Chain A
């Protein structure tokens, strides 16, 4: 049994370009991708090792040291509560990356499931799912997220739910379209003809063959998820204070405009840098895995 599995795996790899070659093409296909990946790794490291890197406690307030300009002690100064802005930014990276990475993956799981079901079974199921997906797709993701957050309120799980729901329809539409075309391939028809059970056809023949555009979509939407979390936190319906996130650091900064502009400038620059890096990486992955849809 074991050898059969290994055998098939080896065949799959031998058919297309190897994993290493794919990785090479993603990283070096476009200039700039390698820098983007470096920035992403730096920020992931910062998020993981935040307690070791941050020079101060991100929550420690001090009336004696409010609104300080940048100095050797506080690289980006302090905010209106006397908290060290640089340390808050370091801890804030945790929220951004956490939501940015979890939500698109969850949305991909739910959305792909819905899309494959709609595409494979067709009929009434397909019509109901497609109708709902079209309805949700009519709303821009951010607006949908704001509307759901308005009903649910903030908090960790609610943010996850909000961003996931906003992304599900996109995945469902792509998965449905892909399933419809893969379903007509001879190998799927052959599997149906010899009586392979439906779950096996779906998981063994359809899902692996529609995975490339789904993976591309996940990477492209990590950046969107990070932006949406930041926007929600900025609006006060995302990560709740005093817990820092880049979005609510900018919100605090805006309420303290005359005090210090540094929280806004610093957190916004980090946010833009990370989003830009994920966008570049997403484009590079799309070039390699899904060349038809790239520019």
Chain B
């Protein structure tokens, strides 16, 4: 098991390196001259020269890459071209809001989705199952930012139950602020997790050991939770991981809808302002989270399914 963990960790290193190479190439080569991009077409040659010197753009490419790697390793992402604040400060300020939103959405999504899946599977081809199917069809089709905007208009703007923007101050206020955005993301999550739970449970219900359990007179509750849900856990865990990644990418648009702070909002504003150092920092942070979540999911599989350890 320790060997597997170590191998998996080593395996993540080239991935991280490749991500950094791609970000570096994308930021330095693709958009043309970053100095013109940052200062605009109207900048004088002197201004451009000063900017290039400041950003280290005059150095040879390999040296820029080494500096870039060293910067990332020491968490030094440079300063924002717009506000001149360190990019790390901006990220550290915004990150908790995104994490808070993602966690709240995952909790709400699981609490809604998994029970719905169980209900649908145990009432197969009856009305709760049909309801689940309709719910998941809509959940798969409705864009999260549209759902968010509808919830915002209804519950924040018209009914006034929730704030229409911001991230909140103290604990209760932050929960109040995160509720609607999290519910938006949770809706899509619930559709996905519900459908997955239903499918995995139905597969397990067809297995011999479930028939045996029923035959020896185990109660229906025991069959569902002890034999069914437990064995359906592996695909649900996989789904949970995928869903966590989807929530992370969904958070970008949702932060914009509810005008709340977060890495997504930071990234989108930076793109609009062509603030390259902030874009670079934001992209790296997002990418690292994706790698980290994938890694964690692999570790969770080992815990949930002991058979993997043997392989």
Q: Is the CB of A265 within 8 A of B31?
A: no
Interface size of B by Cβ–Cβ distance < 8 Å?
46
Per a CB cutoff under 8 Å, which of B152, B248, B291 touches A140? B248
Most buried by B among A148, A230, A268, A295: A268
Q: Is the CB of A152 within 8 A of B141?
A: no
Most buried by A among B18, B146, B286: B146
Contact A254 to B257, CB < 8 A, known contacts A148-B26, A265-B150: yes
Nearest CB of chain A from residue B141's CB, rounded to whole Å: 4
Q: Is the CB of A268 within 8 A of B199?
A: no
Convert B228-271 into 0s and 1s, putting 1 for each residue whose CB lies closer than 8 angstroms to a CB of A. 00000000000000100110111011001100000000011011
Residues of the A chain whose Cβ atoms lie less than 8 Å from the Cβ of B271: 149-150, 153, 235-237
Complex CA gap A273/B142 in Å reads 8
Q: Is the CB of B143 within 8 A of A235?
A: no
Q: Is the CB of B286 within 8 A of A268?
A: no
Contact A264 to B249, CB < 8 A, known contacts A135-B15, A227-B143, A275-B143: no
Per a CB cutoff under 8 Å, which of A153, A235, A264, A267 touches B252? A235
Residues of the B chain whose Cβ atoms lie less than 8 Å from the Cβ of A279: 137, 140-141
Residues of the B chain whose Cβ atoms lie less than 8 Å from the Cβ of A151: 26-27, 30-31, 279, 283
Interface bracket on A: 35 or more
Q: Is the CB of B150 within 8 A of A230?
A: no
Complex CA gap A280/B256 in Å reads 29
Contact A234 to B253, CB < 8 A, known contacts A151-B26, A227-B143, A275-B141: yes
Convert B113-146 into 0s and 1s, putting 1 for each residue whose CB lies closer than 8 angstroms to a CB of A. 0000000000000000000000001101111011
Q: Is the CB of A143 within 8 A of B290?
A: yes
Per a CB cutoff under 8 Å, which of A236, A253, A257, A267 touches B272? A236
Convert A223-236 into 0s and 1s, putting 1 for each residue whose CB lies closer than 8 angstroms to a CB of B. 10001001100111
Residues of the B chain whose Cβ atoms lie less than 8 Å from the Cβ of A267: 146
Complex CA gap A149/B14 in Å reads 24
Convert A59-85 into 0s and 1s, putting 1 for each residue whose CB lies closer than 8 angstroms to a CB of B. 000000000000000000000000000
B294 within 8 A of A: yes
Q: Is the CB of B290 within 8 A of A152?
A: no
Complex CA gap A95/B142 in Å reads 18
Majority SS of interface residues in chain B?
helix
B157 within 8 A of A: yes
Convert B141-176 into 0s and 1s, putting 1 for each residue whose CB lies closer than 8 angstroms to a CB of A. 111011001101100010000001000000000000
Complex CA gap A223/B137 in Å reads 12
Nearest CB of chain A from residue B71's CB, rounded to whole Å: 18
Residues of the B chain whose Cβ atoms lie less than 8 Å from the Cβ of A131: 14
Residues of the B chain whose Cβ atoms lie less than 8 Å from the Cβ of A149: 271
Closest to B19 in A: A135
Closest to B268 in A: A235
Complex CA gap A213/B256 in Å reads 37
Residues of the B chain whose Cβ atoms lie less than 8 Å from the Cβ of A235: 252-253, 256, 268, 271
B287 within 8 A of A: yes
Residues of the B chain whose Cβ atoms lie less than 8 Å from the Cβ of A150: 267, 270-271, 279, 282-283
Per a CB cutoff under 8 Å, which of A148, A153, A261, A272 touches B143? A272
Per a CB cutoff under 8 Å, which of A143, A258, A264, A276 touches B150? A264
- 12 A–B contacts from the bound complex (CB under 8 Å): A143-B252, A146-B249, A150-B271, A151-B26, A152-B30, A231-B145, A235-B252, A236-B272, A250-B145, A265-B153, A268-B149, A271-B143
The 5 A-B pairs of least Cβ separation, nearest first, read A268-B146, A151-B26, A143-B249, A276-B141, A142-B249
A-contacting residues of B (Cβ < 8 Å)? 14-15, 18-19, 26-27, 30-31, 137-138, 140-143, 145-146, 149-150, 152-153, 157, 164, 199, 242, 245-246, 248-250, 252-253, 256-257, 267-268, 270-272, 279, 282-283, 286-287, 290-291, 294
B-contacting residues of A (Cβ < 8 Å)? 131, 135, 138-140, 142-143, 146-153, 223, 227, 230-231, 234-237, 250, 253-254, 257-258, 261, 264-265, 267-268, 271-273, 275-276, 279-280, 295
